[in-house]
Amino acid sequence: MFKTLPGFREFYPEDVAKRDYIFKVWRDTARAFAFCEFDPPVLEQLDLFTEKSGEEIKSQLFEFTDKGGRAVSLRPEMTPSLARMVGAKANSMRRPVKWFCMGENYRYERQQKGRLRAFYQFNADILGEESLRADAEIIGLLVGILKAFGLTRDEFKVRLGDRTLWVLFLENAGVKDEFIMPVLSVVDKIERVSPEAFLEMLSGALEGSGIKADALAGKIREFISLKDLESIRAAFDGGMVPADRIDARLSDWRELFATLSDMGAADFVKPDLGIVRGLAYYTGFVFEAFQTVGSGRALAGGGRYDNLVKKLGYPDMPAVGFGMGDVTVSDLLELVGKGKSLDNSPDVCVLIADESLRGDALRAIYALRAEGIRVDYQFKGAGLGKQFKYADSIGARLAVIFAPDEFSRGCVGIKNLKSGVSDEAKLDSLCAAVKAAL
Ligand code: HAM
């Protein structure tokens, strides 16, 4: 007996129907925001991910050497491929670029609830626009998608953090440039580790900096607990960073919230400096959407990454975007009773009362299908009673009945299986009659 590998799912048709509902909401909402769909490769050169995504992703890669001796990896995320695709054509592209994609990603993670080794992810990104209006549009889309699933303010929230503010805060505390990113990657883990482990990791990140980890740890915890701009401003008093740099960033915060408010999204978004994000390439505002019921897991995450395209060797291209996984979203929809499926059942079931009519029935079936109507029929000849049972069991809305009497008059029977109402239709205008009855 063979089993699926840990962290990989197999989708039976009813699972695909649920998954495709999620895909439909993702795609329809992104298109309503005028994003265009793109599709990057599943397998990439290994160093596309090892150089830019950061340590956490590096340890989770499904990597191997292919038969041509190339070091390759299944994609753990879409962002580096997107940066390459846009970067390669940057000079000839109309800006801003607003793109989305949907596909499976692979991470060799420790399997746990909400975390798998193969998961679908929706991504939406805006490249070539440095203003906060792009950050707002991206957060507006994130909120728009979760609302399109029928989720409410009681069920999710977006926590908004800011790497720029963190850099200012650490500079203010005397942390030199080269220690800032290592410290931030420790801050990213603060909610997931014990205070002792946090202190130990922070000491490691600060080694050689001349800064005492325990004093800085206290300041970091205090800074994270601040939830309004006034107290954030006050936290910088008496430090090394000039006030105008801090004030300029806080005015960005005000502008972002004013725009989100016009979009009807501000109520879903809460300032939260505990969000710094694990991936290495983020540069400005960063955010994560969390479910606020049940396990409280992350539904989506993203932020601004202004240097990635340039770091890959292409022209300067500021960027902002997010990724949303299917696993936690579908768990949440089930939990709150808002899970839906795309309809797999056919529109029509054709019933054949006499085998001599099978050829004519098949001709009609294929003509209906060519019009995009979903039609099923039974391969085995059977009595009409059995065929009606079959039509019910597959959830067909209409039965079209080929029987000798009607057929001799150029007609077929049509029965609405939901209302029970029966009628007759001319065979030569069957398509129109079926469309009218559906
Ligand atoms: P990320 O935070 O690594 O960001 O992933 C985004 C979302 O993908 C998570 O919030 C979660 O819903 C889902 N996800 C991630 N890993 C797993 C897993 N192992 N199993 C199930 N779901 C998972 C990124 O990937 C960035 N590239 C997003 C981005 C796009 N930033 C800018 N543009």
Using DSSP, state whether 141 is helix, strand or coil. Answer: helix
pLDDT at 240: 84
How many CB atoms are located within 10 Å of the residue 420 CB? Answer: 7
pLDDT at 383: 96
Question: What distance in angstroms lies between residue 115's CA and the mean position of ligand 1's atoms?
Answer: 10
The residues facing 412 across adjacent strands are: 425
Q: How far apart are CA 346 and CA 119, in angstroms?
A: 29
**In terms of CATH architecture, what is 348-437?**
3-Layer(aba) Sandwich (3.40)
Tokens 């240097």 identify what position? Answer: 307
Nearest to 401 by CA among 372, 390, 343, 345: 390
pLDDT digits (tens, 9 = 90+) for 152-189: 999 999 999 999 999 999 999 999 999 999 999 999 99
Which of 52, 57, 77 is the best mutation target for the ligand 1 pocket, counting ligand atoms within 8 Å of the beta carbon and taking the most?
77
Q: Which ranges of the chain have pLDDT less than 50?
A: none
pTM of the full structure: 0.94
Per-residue burial over 159-195, b if 16 or more Cβ lie within 10 Å, else e, is bbbbbbbbbbbbbbbebeeebbebbbbbbbebeeeee
Q: Which fold has domain 13-335?
A: BirA Bifunctional Protein; domain 2 (3.30.930)
Per-residue burial over 303-313, b if 16 or more Cβ lie within 10 Å, else e, is bbbbbbbeebe
pLDDT at 221: 95
In 247-402, at which residue ranges do the beta strands (DSSP E only) sit? 269-271, 285-291, 298-304, 319-325, 348-352, 375-377, 398-402
Question: What distance in angstroms lies between residue 121's CA and the mean position of ligand 1's atoms?
Answer: 7
pLDDT digits (tens, 9 = 90+) for 381-403: 999 999 999 999 999 999 999 99
Sketch the domain layout of the chain as residue ranges.
13-335, 348-437
pLDDT at 238: 82
Q: Residues 87, 80: contact at Cβ < 8 Å?
A: no
Within 6 Å (CB) of ligand 1, which residues are found?
77, 79, 107, 109, 115-116, 119, 121, 123, 125, 279, 298-302, 305, 321-325, 327-328
